[in-house]
Each structure stands twice: as C-alpha cells, then as structure tokens.
C-alpha cells in the first residue's frame, strides 16, 4: 500500500503557535470566566493553576510523545504503538469527543461572529446595561441568525482544514495570536481603572477555601483539559506533525504558560467589569458577552477596540475549531482513506447535525432545554467532566505503563540529547502523579 506523505510543522515556533492556536480560544475568554465565576473565584483559580501547570503540561507533553512516536492520528497511533483492540478504541473515543465539543463550540463561535457584526454596525454605542443584556437575549433567541453564524463558522473551519496543515493552520496562528495578547493587555489596563476593580480582583484572586469541594475540583480539571486542548487526542494529532529535533517538553511548557496567562488576563478584564456594572459573576453564558461591550463603552476609541477585539476573538476561536476538526479529518483520511476535502465536508455536516440542536437549545422555552439543562450544557458537561478526564487518564496510563519506557524517554529526551533530571521528573508525573490525581478527582465527584 502506498504510504501517504505526512506534513510537518515547519519550525519550532510553528508548533508552539499552532498548538497555542488550538489552546487559546473560547475556553480562555468565555468558558474560564464562566467556570471561575460559578465555582467561587479565587478558590477555583488556585486549583486550576496547580492542575494546569503540573498535570496539564505533563499530559500535553505525553500527547506530543505519542503523536510524534507514532506519526499518526489518535486511532492509528495507539494501534501502532501497542497491539490489541482496546487502545485504538481510546482513539475512537477521542474522535467522538472532538465531534461533541465541536458541535457546541461552534454555537458560541457563531456568537463571536454575530458580535463581530454587531461591533461593525456599532450596536453597542450609547447602550446601557439592560440594553446590552437585551441584545444578548435577542441575538441568542433570533430565529435564524445564530444558526447562520454557526454554519458560516463551520464552513470557514472546513475550508482551512481541507487545505492542510501547513498552509492552513500554521500561517494564521503566526501573526494573530501575539496580536490577541496585545489587545488583551490594553483591555486589562482599562478594566483595572474601573470603579469595581478592587472587588473584582478580590473575588478572582482571594481564595475562599470554604468554597472548595469535589465539584470545584472536577470543574477545574475539566476546564484545564478543555482550555489546553488535552485529554482526547487533539495534541496527539498535532504531535504527529512535530519534527524529531523539536523539544516536546519546552513546547508544551510554553503553550501551557501562554494559555494560562490569557485565561488570567480574561479574568482580570471580566471580573472588575462585572463588579463595576453589577453583573453577577455567576451570570454564565452571557458574562463575557455583556461585560466586554460594557468595558468598550467606557473607553476612548471603544468602537475601534471592540471591533479589533471581536475580530481577534473570531480568529482565536477559528484556530481552535480547526484543531478540533483536524482530529476528525486526520482520522478519516488515514483510517478510511478519504481525501482531505471529502473528510472535511462529511465531518462538518455530521457536526452541524448535533451543533444546530445545541444552538437551538439556547432559546427560551426550547424543548431541547429541559429543567434548565440545555443540550448545549449537556454536551459541555459530558465532554469536560467525563470524556476528557477519562481520555486524559488513559493517555497518561498508556505512555507511563503500556508504551516501552525507552520509547517514551527517547521522545522526551530527543534520543538522549536533552537534560535528563527534569525529564525523569516528568516521567514520574506521567506514571504516578497524573493518573492518581485524575482518579482521585474523578472518583470524589462520583461519590459526592
Ligand atoms: N482549547 C480550546 C479553547 O480553549 C478549545 C479546543 C480546541 C479543545 N481543541 C480542543 C478543547 C480539543 C478540548 C479538546 O478554546
């Protein structure tokens, strides 16, 4: 059989940026503040930081190790590295997870596109809080607009993925991710001058440990996996495009730090604003989409900043949806030998079939919204609280116990050329600490 030629990222910066492109997105700017707000602020932040920096970095490195060793999509990677029917099944679960995430992710991705349109049209200027809140409700309840936005977003994603890794993914991430960081720092400075800055920062940074419980732990775990794009094979796929010379641990560390920084910046922007304008930190879905337009209102040149911000948010979101679709497309092209464009089209259609009901479930009185639990929330919950923790656990167990140790160490140290002590410690985390931590958090949530 003819072997398909696999593409590689072209440079070390290329991988970091492509992976950062995958990691940075709605998870940081939309989901992180939602979760921090709902789980007690500071207490959540501390747990989140520990999990992201220790377990997150190790799991990201692990996915790179598996991907680069096998040079294949998640299903093929497990099959190549270990015989037997069980492990490829873990890859299949990952691909399924990518579908489910992409389905509800494109709902909010569509909103970002809608909000970009609103900022171009200047819909926020001169509006007060109730009006801005009303705009969010009208937009999400509009009969067709959110659906059109979602489908356009999905089509854009498919277009980039159909063109392939290097041309598509790498190029966009290179310029735009650093730009996003700059604009977020500007927004932060503004937010810190608002009257509620003190209360907002106190909520976000002062841990109230009485709020700590099993749900906070699992939510922090789920959020860190979601934000870092780990626990379902996305970065096994990206790892398969990394060249032999690159340093996996340092790339994973840079991406984790950048991702965490952006999440914290989002918190520093959103909580002071929420406290200033009297928006509940537990406001959920509407939190980012009401606080941010309110902050822009307070700024000179607000129209301009709002426009650039939503443009960058659309792009950051796009680089994330690309990475999710890429998991499915890499699996379909390599396992079922479909062409890239065909795989991109079929998988987008399948995603739309779940994604459209997810968007509709946001409407007031929707039949897809039972007892306050919408289909959207359900998809979000089962992926972050079950699929990713279980997937992440199986991935670290695989690399720590089922892969041959010399193979794992060979990838970690690039054939013995990189410093050993740190990498031994990482191997220890992969083998013992990460699995035990995930099991403890997962089980404590089940027993609750
Ligand atoms: N990490 C992205 C974000 O924070 C979302 C994302 C992209 C993702 N690829 C993923 C989440 C893979 C889980 C798994 O917005």
Q: Dump pLDDT digits (tens) for 125-134.
A: 999 999 999 9
User: Are 343 and 328 within 8 A, CB to CB?
Assistant: yes
Please indicate whether residue 8, judged by its CB atom, sits closer than 6 Å to ligand 1.
no
Sign of CA dihedral 147, 295, 22, 53: negative
- Taking residue 345's Cβ as centre, other Cβ atoms within 10 Å add up to 16
Interval between CA 195 and ligand 1 midpoint (Å): 33
Residue 47 burial (C-beta neighbours within 10 Å; 0-12, 13-18, 19+): buried
Residue 2 has a pLDDT of: 40
If you search the block for the tokens 């796009």, which residue do you land on?
A: 318
Per-residue confidence at 447, pLDDT binned at 50, 70, 90? confident
Atom of ligand 1 nearest to the CA of 235: 12
Given a contact cutoff of 8 angstroms between Cβ atoms, the answer to whether 103 and 358 are in contact is: yes
How many residues does the structure list for the chain?
A: 448
Among 19, 21, 25, name the best residue to mutate to test ligand 1's pocket (greatest count of ligand atoms within 8 A of Cβ).
25
363 touches 140 (CB < 8 A): yes
**Local confidence band at 1 (pLDDT 50, 70, 90 cut-offs):** very low
CA 263 to centroid of ligand 1, rounded, Å:
13
Question: 87-111: string of b/e by CB count within 10 Å (b at 16+)?
Answer: bbebbebbbebbbbbbbbbbbbbbb
The whole-chain average pLDDT of the chain stands at: 92
* CB of residue 324 inside a 6 A radius of ligand 1: yes
Instruction: Give the nearest ligand 1 atom to 231 CA.
Output: 14
26 in ligand 1 pocket by Cβ < 6 Å? yes
Q: Give the distance (Å) from ligand 1 centre to CA of residue 234.
A: 8
CA of residue 2 to ligand 1 center, whole Å: 33
Q: 12-378: what fold?
A: Hydantoin permease (1.10.4160)
CA of 28, closest atom in ligand 1: 4
Nearest CA to ligand 1 atom 2: 23
Residues 6 or more apart from 93 whose CB is under 8 A from it?
A: 232, 387, 390, 391
By DSSP bridging, strand 369-370 and strand 373-374 are: antiparallel
- Closest ligand 1 atom, residue 26 Cα: 15
Looking at residue 3, what is its pLDDT? 46
Choice from 18, 19, 20, 22 to test ligand 1 binding pocket (greatest atom count within 8 A of CB): 22
Mean pLDDT, range 16-27, rounded to an integer: 91
pLDDT in tens, 44-93: 999 999 999 999 999 999 999 999 999 999 999 999 998 888 999 999 99
User: What's the gap in Å between 390 CA and the centre of ligand 1?
Assistant: 16
Locate tokens 């998870």: which residue?
A: 27
The full 3-state SS of 305-316, as one line of letters, equals HHHHHHHHHHHH
Kindly tell me the sign of the dihedral angle through the C-alpha atoms of 301, 307, 308, 313.
positive
CA of 230, closest atom in ligand 1:
14
Q: Is 23 in the pocket of ligand 1 (CB under 6 A)?
A: yes
Run of H or E residues at 346:
helix 340-360
pTM over 0.85: yes
What are the structural domain ranges in the chain? 12-378
pLDDT at 170 over 80: no
Rounded Cα–Cα distance for residues 92 and 76 (Å): 10
For ligand 1, pick from 63, 169, 226, 325 the residue to mutate: most ligand atoms within 8 Å of CB: 226
Cα(47) to centroid(ligand 1), Å: 19
- Mean of pLDDT values over 37-47: 95
Q: Which residues contact 360 (CB under 8 A, 6 or more apart)?
A: 147, 366, 368, 375
For residues 103-130, average pLDDT: 96
Per-residue pLDDT tens over the stretch 272-312: 999 999 999 998 888 999 999 998 888 888 898 899 889 88
């Amino acid at each position: 059989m003819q072997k398909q030629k696999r593409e590689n990222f072209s440079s070390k910066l290329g991988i970091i940026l492509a992976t950062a492109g995958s990691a940075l997105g709605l998870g940081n700017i939309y989901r992180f503040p939602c979760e921090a707000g709902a789980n007690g602020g500071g207490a959540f932040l501390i747990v989140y930081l520990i999990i992201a920096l220790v377990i997150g970095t190790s799991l990201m490195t692990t996915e790179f190790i598996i991907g680069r060793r096998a040079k294949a999509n998640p299903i093929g990677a497990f099959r190549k590295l270990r015989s037997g029917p069980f492990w490829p099944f873990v890859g299949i679960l990952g691909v399924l997870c990518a579908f489910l995430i992409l389905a509800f992710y494109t709902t909010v991705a569509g909103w970002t596109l809608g909000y970009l349109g609103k900022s171009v049209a200047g819909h926020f200027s001169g509006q007060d809080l109730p009006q801005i809140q009303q705009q969010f409700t009208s937009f999400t309840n509009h009969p067709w607009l959110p659906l059109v936005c979602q489908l356009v977003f999905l089509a854009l994603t498919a277009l980039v993925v159909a063109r392939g890794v290097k041309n598509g993914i790498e190029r966009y991430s290179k310029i735009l991710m650093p730009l996003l960081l700059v604009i977020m720092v500007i927004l932060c400075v503004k937010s810190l001058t608002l009257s509620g800055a003190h209360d907002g920062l106190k909520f976000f940074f002062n841990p109230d440990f009485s709020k700590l419980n099993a749900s906070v732990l699992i939510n922090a775990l789920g959020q860190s996996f979601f934000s870092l794009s780990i626990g379902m094979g996305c970065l096994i796929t990206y790892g398969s495009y990394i060249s032999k010379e690159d340093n996996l641990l340092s790339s994973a560390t840079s991406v984790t730090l950048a991702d965490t920084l952006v999440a914290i910046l989002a918190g520093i922007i959103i909580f002071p604003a929420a406290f200033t304008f009297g928006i509940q930190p537990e406001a959920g879905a509407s939190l980012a989409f009401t606080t941010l337009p309110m902050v822009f209102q307070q700024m000179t040149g607000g129209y301009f900043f709002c426009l650039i911000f939503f443009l960058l948010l659309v792009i950051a979101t796009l680089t994330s949806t690309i990475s999710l679709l890429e998991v499915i497309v890499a699996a379909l092209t390599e396992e079922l030998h479909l062409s890239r464009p065909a795989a991109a089209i079929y998988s987008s259609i399948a995603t739309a079939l779940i994604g459209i009901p997810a968007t509709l479930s946001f409407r007031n009185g929707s039949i897809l919204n039972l007892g306050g639990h919408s289909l959207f929330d359900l998809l979000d919950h089962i992926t972050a609280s079950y699929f990713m923790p279980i997937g992440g656990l199986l991935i670290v167990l695989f690399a720590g116990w089922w892969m041959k140790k010399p193979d794992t160490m060979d990838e970690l140290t690039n054939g013995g050329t990189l410093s050993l002590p740190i990498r031994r410690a990482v191997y220890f985390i992969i083998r013992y600490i990460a699995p035990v931590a995930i099991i403890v958090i997962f089980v404590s949530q089940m027993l609750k």
